[in-house]
Amino acid sequence: MKTFLQLLLTALLCLPGKIQAQLNRHIVVFTDKHNNPFSIQQPNAYLSNKAIERRNRQQLSVDSTDLPVNPSYLDSLRNAGDVTIVNTSKWLNQALIQTSDAAALNTIKSFSFVKKVSEAAPRTRQRNTERQDKLRYEMSPVRKSAKTMDAGNNYFNYGNNYAQVNIHEGQFLHNKGYRGEGMTIAILDAGFYKYDTNPAFDSIRLNNQVLGTWDFVKNKESVTEEHDHGMVCFSIMAANRPGKIVGTAPKAKYYLFRTEDAATEYQVEEQNWVAAAERADSLGVDLISSSLGYYEFDDAATSYSYNDMDGKTSIITRGAEYAAQKGIFVTNSAGNSGGDAWHYIIAPADGAHVMAVGAVDVSGNPAWFSSYGPASDNRVKPDVASVGAATVMAGYDGNPVTGNGTSLSNPNMAGLITCLWQAFPEFTNAEIFDAVKKSANRYNSPNDRVGYGIPNMRIAYEILSGQKLQNHAEQILGNDWLKAYPVPFTSGLTLLLNPQTTGNATLQLFSDAGRLVYTKNITVNAGVIQYLPLNNLGILPPGVYWIKYNDGKNKRLLKIVK
């Protein structure tokens, strides 16, 4: 992911690290999951209740890809010689092993259940000096202006990052009470340097909003010693320092996973990402925010071409697509190659169900570095854009600083999407994805710079509210086109109408004796469901009443009771 880490922040020095010799790491792909002791009928053995509930809510079935890798296959790998299992991927049915035992490797390759063995990282990792120099950041102070200061009667005093929230009308969600409560986000990144002592995360620590951490690079629990990249991305979502910086999902809960080794670039990091995404799935997270991406590796033979950005080729994109299939909303930085020879988005931003986020400034102008689309199969990419130029984030001391990169636009967008989904938990990740796209300012004319454009959370909320009413109406109507409820009524009732034609219609309310007691003229559009309230009926005496509907072509008489 060094492409992002080179350009993206104009902030913070990369931590120097000692590169140690490592054993060879290889990806072993299995042929099947036969004779697996786990079963689809008992998912509680490998999925949390929250993960199962997420599937049930979105009507997703547990299938064979959910089954863990066959444990007996892993035992055979260990018994082949001096072999360590680093991690596994049940979705891709493969394992990452570490070994320098050539005989063991030959034995593994001969197993009937092994489909393929490929090298994922060399024995000795050499630091790329040129790349490491580009990882050194310098902090940029925040310049306050009318656009960066909070305004209005908002629930949060955003301070310096008001503009990057306001460009999406994100405060609309926060003001309505949707701030991430009850939602869980997994951040996959290169490290979360000293987040545990940074004042920007005081609220997160006080309220125990970090549910867990894991370093998939070094297989340890702590993620605070290495790179700062994940920390600053985390701050854009989770910081809560009123008047200075308030994140886009400050009340959500988080898992922090380190999958990226910032010193080198090998396919082992893609495998780490997929292993982390699977753990996130098993834990029941709602959204994965990833500001990582791959196309060029230190081993040039394994690098991807633009043709590989087709949504189905790279290891990481295949994993991201599986995550989406499991009901997780996946957001990812589009890439920072807009000004270099590569030019295009990088994996996993090419995934069809991965929301790739490009970068703009607070005025909506595309950032020069933001990677171009489309995907190599000509799909619109990036999907949307958020503020990635002079983005406000937390520095080491918790105070706001600015930086550049789609790595920063991604968490800004991810946090707001989380709050939007909080407001509409009955919708699927695909339905939320669709509403976010439709709310964007270029939805009808997408391009290869910002995709569908800059989403608006108020519009997305209204889209989903309308769809919610539509779904509710369809449940009530069933195969009918006109119903009244509640029946019996007291002070008023509602007519639910799915017009069969377009034009003018008349509603009339008659007593059982035939006396007209209420009339209303309306305009109707075929197929557009309407809720028609009939209020102030409390003065009517109890009894039987009749509603007469007439649009010139269709007539209906409904019996109701008070």
Q: Is the dihedral of CA 3, 222, 283, 287 positive or negative?
A: negative
pLDDT of 138 reads 43
For residues 263 and 20, what is the distance between their CA atoms, to the nearest angstrom?
A: 11
Contacts of 89 (CB under 8 A, 6+ apart): 69, 95, 271, 274, 275, 278, 319
Tokens 């790349």 -> residue: 131
pLDDT category, 144, cuts 50, 70, 90?
A: low
pLDDT category, 120, cuts 50, 70, 90?
A: confident
Tokens 């790329």 -> residue: 128
Which two tokens mark 363?
């005025």
pLDDT category, 12, cuts 50, 70, 90?
A: very low
Q: Which fold has domain 482-561?
A: Immunoglobulin-like (2.60.40)
pLDDT, tens digit, for every residue of 179-230?
Answer: 999 999 999 999 999 999 999 999 999 999 999 999 999 999 999 998 999 9
DSSP annotation of 70 reads P
For residues 254 and 184, what is the distance between their CA atoms, to the nearest angstrom?
A: 6
CA nearest to 443, candidates 455, 431, 460: 455
pLDDT category, 123, cuts 50, 70, 90?
A: low
Strand order in the sheet with 354-360: 210-215, 253-258, 184-189, 287-290, 329-333, 354-360, 384-387
Q: Model pTM?
A: 0.85
pLDDT of 529 reads 86
For residues 256 and 186, what is the distance between their CA atoms, to the nearest angstrom?
A: 6
pLDDT of 4 reads 43
Q: How many CB atoms lie within 10 A of CB 548?
A: 15
146-469 matches 482-561 in fold: no
Contacts of 55 (CB under 8 A, 6+ apart): 47, 61, 62, 326, 327
CA distances in angstroms from 410 to 164, 200, 354, 417, listed in the order given: 12, 19, 12, 11
pLDDT, tens digit, for every residue of 381-437?
Answer: 999 999 999 999 999 999 999 999 999 999 999 999 999 999 999 999 999 999 999
Mean pLDDT of 155-166: 94
pLDDT, tens digit, for every residue of 433-485?
Answer: 999 999 999 999 999 999 999 999 999 999 999 888 888 888 888 889 999 88
Where in the chain are the domains? 25-121, 146-469, 482-561
C-alpha 213, offset from chain centre: 19
* Mean pLDDT, the chain, whole residue set: 90
Strands 391-394 and 400-403: antiparallel
Q: How many CB atoms lie within 10 A of CB 55?
A: 19
pLDDT category, 143, cuts 50, 70, 90?
A: low
For residues 188 and 261, what is the distance between their CA atoms, to the nearest angstrom?
A: 12
Q: Are 33 and 46 in contact (CB under 8 A)?
A: no
Q: Say yes or no to pLDDT of 10 above 70.
A: no
Q: How many CB atoms lie within 10 A of CB 33?
A: 17
CA nearest to 292, candidates 133, 407, 135: 407
pLDDT of 223 reads 97
Contacts of 559 (CB under 8 A, 6+ apart): 544, 545, 546
Q: Say yes or no to pLDDT of 136 above 80.
A: no
pLDDT, tens digit, for every residue of 71-95?
Answer: 999 999 999 999 999 999 999 999 9
CA distances in angstroms from 455 to 151, 252, 336, 414, 441, listed in the order given: 20, 21, 20, 11, 6
Mean pLDDT of 18-33: 74
Which two tokens mark 191?
């490290």
Q: Say yes or no to pLDDT of 135 above 80.
A: no
CA nearest to 173, candidates 526, 365, 455, 485: 455
CA nearest to 272, candidates 334, 195, 201, 190: 190
Which two tokens mark 275?
């292993």
DSSP annotation of 112 reads T
Which architecture does CATH list for 146-469?
Answer: 3-Layer(aba) Sandwich (3.40)
pLDDT, tens digit, for every residue of 489-548?
Answer: 888 888 899 999 999 999 999 999 999 988 989 999 998 888 888 888 888 999 999 999
Q: Say yes or no to pLDDT of 133 above 90.
A: no
CATH class of 25-121: alpha beta
Amino acid at 188: L
Separate counts of helices (H) and strands (E) for the chain? 14, 23
pLDDT of 538 reads 84
Contacts of 319 (CB under 8 A, 6+ apart): 89, 91, 92, 270, 273, 274, 277, 278, 348
Beta strands in 259-379 (DSSP E): 287-290, 329-333, 354-360
Beta-bridge partners for 347: 294
- Please give the residue that has the higher pLDDT: either 7 or 227: 227
Integer Rg of the chain from CA: 27
pLDDT of 278 reads 98
- Please give the residue that has the higher pLDDT: either 471 or 292: 292
Q: Say yes or no to pLDDT of 146 above 50.
A: no
For residues 259 and 269, what is the distance between their CA atoms, to the nearest angstrom?
A: 6
Beta strands in 466-502 (DSSP E): 482-485, 493-497
Beta strands in 293-338 (DSSP E): 329-333
For residues 332 and 350, what is the distance between their CA atoms, to the nearest angstrom?
A: 9
Task: Specify the DSSP element, H or E, that contains 74.
Answer: helix 71-79
pLDDT, tens digit, for every residue of 38-65?
Answer: 999 999 999 999 999 999 999 999 999 9
